[in-house]
Amino acid sequence: MTKSDDPIAAMEWLLDRLEDDDDVAYAEVGAVSQAKTDIVVTEDGPRDELMFDETGIWCRVFANGAADYRYTTNLNEETLADVADRAVRGGKFLAQADPARFDQLTTHRAVHDGWAIDRIDNVPLETKRSTIKASLTAAADIDLERQWVNYADAHVEETAATTTGSTVRTTLDRASVVFTFAVRNGPTIRRHAGSTRGAAFLDELPDMFESVAADARMLTRAATADVPTGETTVVLSPRAAGQLFAFVSRYLEADMVEMGLSPYNIGDELGPESLSIEDTVHAGSWAARSYDAELRPTTPVQLAENGTVTRYLHNTATGVEADESPTGNAVHSLGFGQAPRIHARHLEVAPGDTSRTALRDGADVLVEQFDEPWLRDEFERVQRSGVMPASALYARDIDRKVDNRTDRGCAEFPIAEGYRLRNSERAGRIEGLSLAYDPSTLRKVTAIGCVRGTVTGVDEKHKSQIPYAVTAPSVRLRTRLCTQK
């Protein structure tokens, strides 16, 4: 076998190698072929452009009660044998206290060709570049000190198989754009947008850039307003509310629960009775996959209903422990370079019946967007950002070592785009404030809007880059604002 050989042949070779190893209880192996594009555009025009193909093999191997994950783009036998040996040794090295169990009975055989009508890799590089440049003219009238756009796409063909007989073939056309508009002597506006609809995503770019340019104009024209602090009535836009709900969903992931980081138990009051949250899979959503890394079909999960926590997100191992059926929440990391993680896909927060005017009536602050939250608990900060083995139950070993986490589930959300409200109207932008979040914050929601919007992004969990999307309404709540750290 050589590096240029068919990745499916390499997958089959590695699968056979792992099946013949007495130390391996179970393994998943995937063959990936990707056609990628990466374009960076700044205020000086296109800076970096790259189109390339990548083939690789990923595997997750259970050995001695633990799991290890590996990915390689070198498909020769020597490298694959080394990958297998390292994965098995990795399981032994972890010495997980509670051995992981997995599904030996359910077998899936399926094909899913994705949601794209037109493949993203069939669009010429010149067309992608010209679409971005034309879209940027929406901000031509704004005095920008810096503009930065990173466009990336990939046509992904993946075949995965397990030592228990499952085989799934999937196709995905995923594209995204991350852009920053830094206004001279003013605010900085950042956005992420993504889709798995293939070439159709490019048609949406002009409207996306026009929307961001409009936000930049509004922020630029607004004078800096006085800064309210302490207990305050705050309205979150659908984008800001989506960011907050995405953060909350991390505490409903079974491995975070096992690690002792979640402040929420099943049956706990999360918010008002009008609050319901479901994790779904939208056709064409940035975070959509038909099957997860464990070859389980992706299906909806009701996380909260009538304001009460109803379920956690599981992979196969944690699902067996909790007597719950996994629903496809072992989400691949973008690019496959890091291990899959338990994660939400596309959160749907049910709309309420409150109009925008009623939401803002008597409110003090409108938040349009947050920056990344800052976690108060140092242990939680370290664990979220640190490397984590591919076995979710290893989290239980960590939980045994630390206790008295009084600040778990507490964070500060820096307000990136916010306005002072007077008589329900914007009365200047606010700067230097954060929204203080604790496990009781959502219980202070007093109204939920009837209009929703969708926010997308990438969440880093234990070094894995996980795509997420949230469709949420505006919310009104009483909460505390504090000066940014």
Q: Is the pLDDT of residue 138 over 80?
A: yes
Q: Is the pLDDT of residue 1 over 90?
A: no
In the prediction, which pLDDT does 282 show? Answer: 94
Of residues 89 and 338, the one with the higher pLDDT is 338
228 confidence band (pLDDT: 50, 70, 90): confident
- Residue reference for tokens 């009483």: 478
Q: Is the pLDDT of residue 101 over 60?
A: no
Rounded Cα distance between 394 and 185, Å, is: 48
In the prediction, which pLDDT does 390 show? Answer: 83
In the prediction, which pLDDT does 2 show? Answer: 41
E strand or H helix at 116: none
Rounded Cα distance between 57 and 31, Å, is: 5
106 by Cβ neighbours in 10 Å (0-12 / 13-18 / 19+) ranks as middle
Q: Indicate the average pLDDT of the chain.
A: 92
Q: Mean pLDDT across the stretch 456-467?
A: 96
- Find, among 152, 158, 184, the residue nearest to 34 by Cα: 158
In the prediction, which pLDDT does 429 show? Answer: 95
Using N-to-C axis directions, what is the helix angle for 200-221 and 125-135, rounded to 10°?
A: 20
The per-residue DSSP string of 293-312 comes to TTSPBP--EEEEETTEE---
321 confidence band (pLDDT: 50, 70, 90): confident
Locate the domains of the chain by residue range.
7-221, 230-483
| Sign (positive or negative) of CA dihedral 413, 415, 416, 417 | positive
Helix H, strand E, coil C: the string for 202-242 is HHHHHHHHHHHHHHHHHHHHCCECCCCCEEEEEEECHHHHH
Q: Mean pLDDT across the stretch 272-290?
A: 97
Q: Is the pLDDT of residue 176 over 50?
A: yes
Residue type at position 470: V
Rounded Cα distance between 435 and 412, Å, is: 6
240 confidence band (pLDDT: 50, 70, 90): very high
Q: Mean pLDDT across the stretch 35-50?
A: 93
Percent of the chain with pLDDT over 90: 78
Of residues 16 and 93, the one with the higher pLDDT is 16
In the prediction, which pLDDT does 404 show? Answer: 67
CATH architecture of 7-221: 2-Layer Sandwich (3.30)
Q: Is the pLDDT of residue 96 over 70?
A: no
First-to-last CA distance in the chain?
55
Q: Is the pLDDT of residue 16 over 80?
A: yes
- Find, among 184, 118, 182, the residue nearest to 153 by Cα: 118
Q: Is the pLDDT of residue 4 over 60?
A: no
Rounded Cα distance between 194 and 433, Å, is: 28
Comparing 53-57, 73-77, 95-99, 182-186, the range with the smallest average pLDDT is: 95-99
Q: Give ∠ CA 126-129-130 in degrees, rounded to 5.
A: 85
CA dihedral (75, 78, 83, 86) in degrees, to 10, reads: -170
21 by Cβ neighbours in 10 Å (0-12 / 13-18 / 19+) ranks as middle
Q: Is the pLDDT of residue 49 over 50?
A: yes
Q: Is the pLDDT of residue 233 over 80?
A: yes
206 confidence band (pLDDT: 50, 70, 90): very high
Residues 6+ apart with CB under 8 A from 310: 266, 302, 303, 304
Q: Mean pLDDT across the stretch 26-50?
A: 94
Distances (CA, A) of 98 to 94, 161, 325, 376, 398: 11, 26, 20, 30, 12
